[in-house]
Structure 1
């Protein structure tokens, strides 16, 4: 009987450990008393009236959070009233940790929330979501030891009439563990990727289908980092300049100064955990999805995401996350992406953001199937 009870106890402990291991996000245990103090930075009307927003003039920067630590940002919520087209591309989100001069987060605000085509649509995941009436939400944990600052810059030509925000953050009476990693997010784009040829007729054309790419030299780069940390995911949007399926490219990850990638996938839709060119239509789940699925003709638009919360990809010296644009980089579509990772500070400065007008999605004259004069 004792032996049986021992086995049952071991099984129970094992299932409990599995439950903890499979929990997507490290939420606080609500059965235990928490020892942090919860705060909110918001756009509430300081007079107590109902003008609970901030106006941001062209070229101006709003500081939405400026607080001392130790602490952790647990939730971001924004919603924007602006009549300017593509304001999601023109407004820039930056986050600075511990007084750094080079931001750890720098991205057009729409792209940070997976809206890389500059238009609103609803989608949901464990870490990011866009709800009804254009509500932008992030649940990435963002710890900081000494200081946190979040800014919003209007790089557009028109005022942002109403910028609403609620930022929930905790402060702790104790120091953070010395090995705590900091949240980072970096925007990149290629408008367009430049395929090595436009003399192809389809993705199955032997000219491109037999081309090999073992070192990923010309791949589209989601992010590069120096130091130690772990990659946790990416959101990406695609505007096709050419006909056919855009996603024949393989994901490739280079860990700790590798010359050839140690992690290689089998196709773009496979990396984003779909299949067969997302032929079943749009979908969004907790860790992966394709909330926008276009057609197979020039001008089609798609948006996809993947979060590695089940197994972040660790690195100790350096890391580069990339993907092909077509097999062996033969296509010339536009890619817009934000990569998300955690690492120890300091981090390498990001490449400069493209000028605001260059960030606006536009078809490019690249030749190849279905490509005509660029649309403005």
Structure 2
């Protein structure tokens, strides 16, 4: 063999190796593709990471045993004595407040920044994002306009939400990240992936950001216009289902995956119907889904139209989901009517191909409800506790608040794999659902990954026009996850504080979604009695509620 041929063979092999390495490297481009790859979230991540969050949570919260510090509602910085950040430091006489600091490979995947005042848009706080130990920030700007769709990050990745700037645009880094503010910060949340050491990451640069603008625009269009797949075999139910009866349909035998699911009832005149009609799904002999349809599709109690990346509820009552639900051998979908009246149900599932491997996981959805939930003493209300391996991918919370005053100051606390302190410690229930200034923020809003389909008497069909503060009645908040999905190897526990400004009895109901192995378990079991115990609306709701409440 000539030296020239050997040279070309070596060059070809080297170029092939580089191409493979580039494909395996975490980058802006790879993360944008991952954001809209519904198959990817149904497999355990091939690049292991822990989802962490840097926030202004109250530093007095140290242990569950200290009930005073654990529930103190002071997760912001306003006075000089407030220290809900990492530290301050000075360079050449300039003071900076350090909000986030991570050493090692990672990626910022979610940012939440609230207005400084509830009736005045914006903030005067400038932040800097330093990557890989570089003394010069790669990004610098106003902590609201950077992330509300009017600045650097375009919509829908960044958007104004309600009285907040929220971004899901990925900012990867190879060696580390530090975020600082040039004056004392207010509230903040920076959610990031902490990859295992040695993970290949291409650090964010403005040059790469500009190069990926065409891809960013393409992914943005996909997020804003989610499509139900039409490829695959269609399985349907079109039946009348009597009280306490059910109808089922089997899925094609062999490996496959439900790629879209649509359900529509004959009418929604009784709002309770979205709680009394249950969706059940079974894969490979195990029931992995048991949930009221309102909590499964994100509409809450009654018909509240909303559009997201994974779920859509249309004005005509058609509810869709686009979670990929793989199985190895068999599957079954069942609709159960726990209501008192016969219902008309149309259901259609599209089942496509799936190559099951060791990282494939089953889709799970469950429900928990409770009424009454006393707001005193303060407490943590468990959404779900999972044992085994999986990825947590979202939830839909519906509360009933009997008073006008704001109900949701409670923080989320998420423990992963038995850690002593939560990986995620939040700053308020509305912050977890990506808006701020709860109580005033009762407008309808929607985004590919979070929404408020209903609050007080408002929804998409009845938009808010007044500027009143009244959060009584039913409110539904949804959050689904793509890049901010939460992998766990042994366990995950998600609690939400019950923290209302009023001593009263509330109602809580939550649908939770995750992927897991066949032996992954949860503490949620079917609750046919609980779904029928709908928390009653307060006397005089909505317009004649007692003013002192």
- TM-score, structure 1 as length reference: 0.76
State the Cα distance separating 1:327 from its structure 2 match: 6.2
3-state SS of paired residue (2:359): coil
Whether the 8 Å contact between 2:403 and 2:538 is mirrored in structure 1 is no
1:62 equivalent in structure 2: 247
Q: Distance in 2 between matches of 1:277 and 1:317?
A: 34
Stretch moving more, 83-92 or 73-82: 83-92
State the Cα distance separating 1:307 from its structure 2 match: 1.6
Query: Per-residue CA shift, 1:64-122, capped at 9, x if unaligned?
Result: 3333221110000111014773221111111111012xx211111122111222x1011
1:132 equivalenced with 2:315 (yes/no): yes
1:167 equivalent in structure 2: 349
State the Cα distance separating 1:195 from its structure 2 match: 2.2
1:42 equivalenced with 2:240 (yes/no): no
Looking at CA atoms only, which structure, 1 or 2, has the larger radius of gyration? Answer: 2
2:274 equivalent in structure 1: 88
State the Cα distance separating 1:278 from its structure 2 match: 6.5
2:514 equivalent in structure 1: 341
Whether the 8 Å contact between 1:54 and 1:163 is mirrored in structure 2 is yes
1:246 equivalenced with 2:407 (yes/no): yes
1:104 equivalenced with 2:115 (yes/no): no
3-state SS of paired residue (2:415): strand
Q: Distance in 1 between matches of 2:515 and 2:538?
A: 34
1:355 equivalenced with 2:365 (yes/no): no
2:186 equivalent in structure 1: none
> Which 5+ residue runs of structure 1 have no aligned equivalent?
1-5, 29-35, 44-52, 198-210, 212-217
Whether the 8 Å contact between 1:242 and 1:333 is mirrored in structure 2 is no
Query: Per-residue CA shift, 1:168-189, capped at 9, x if unaligned?
Result: 01135xx411121111111011
Question: Any residues of structure 2 matched to 1:158-237 within 5 Å, and which?
Answer: 158-160=341-343, 162-172=344-354, 175-197=355-377, 218-237=379-398
Q: Distance in 2 between matches of 1:306 and 1:323?
A: 14
Whether the 8 Å contact between 1:75 and 1:169 is mirrored in structure 2 is yes
3-state SS of paired residue (2:316): helix
Whether the 8 Å contact between 1:115 and 1:237 is mirrored in structure 2 is no
Match of 1:144 among 327, 348, 355: 327
3-state SS of paired residue (1:149): strand
1:116 equivalent in structure 2: 300
Match of 2:261 among 70, 76, 96: 76
RMSD over equivalenced CA pairs, Å: 3.1
3-state SS of paired residue (2:498): coil
Whether the 8 Å contact between 1:274 and 1:289 is mirrored in structure 2 is no
Q: Distance in 1 between matches of 2:339 and 2:509?
A: 19
Tell me which of the two structures has the higher relative contact order, counting C-alpha pairs closer than 8 angstroms and 6 or more residues apart.
1
Q: Distance in 1 between matches of 2:406 and 2:500?
A: 11
Q: Distance in 2 between matches of 1:142 and 1:152?
A: 17
Stretch moving more, 57-66 or 267-276: 57-66
State the Cα distance separating 1:360 from its structure 2 match: 2.1
> Which 5+ residue runs of structure 2 have no aligned equivalent?
1-14, 40-229, 457-467
Structure 1 pair 122–250 and aligned structure 2 pair: CA distance change class (3 A): same
3-state SS of paired residue (2:252): strand
1:292 equivalent in structure 2: 454
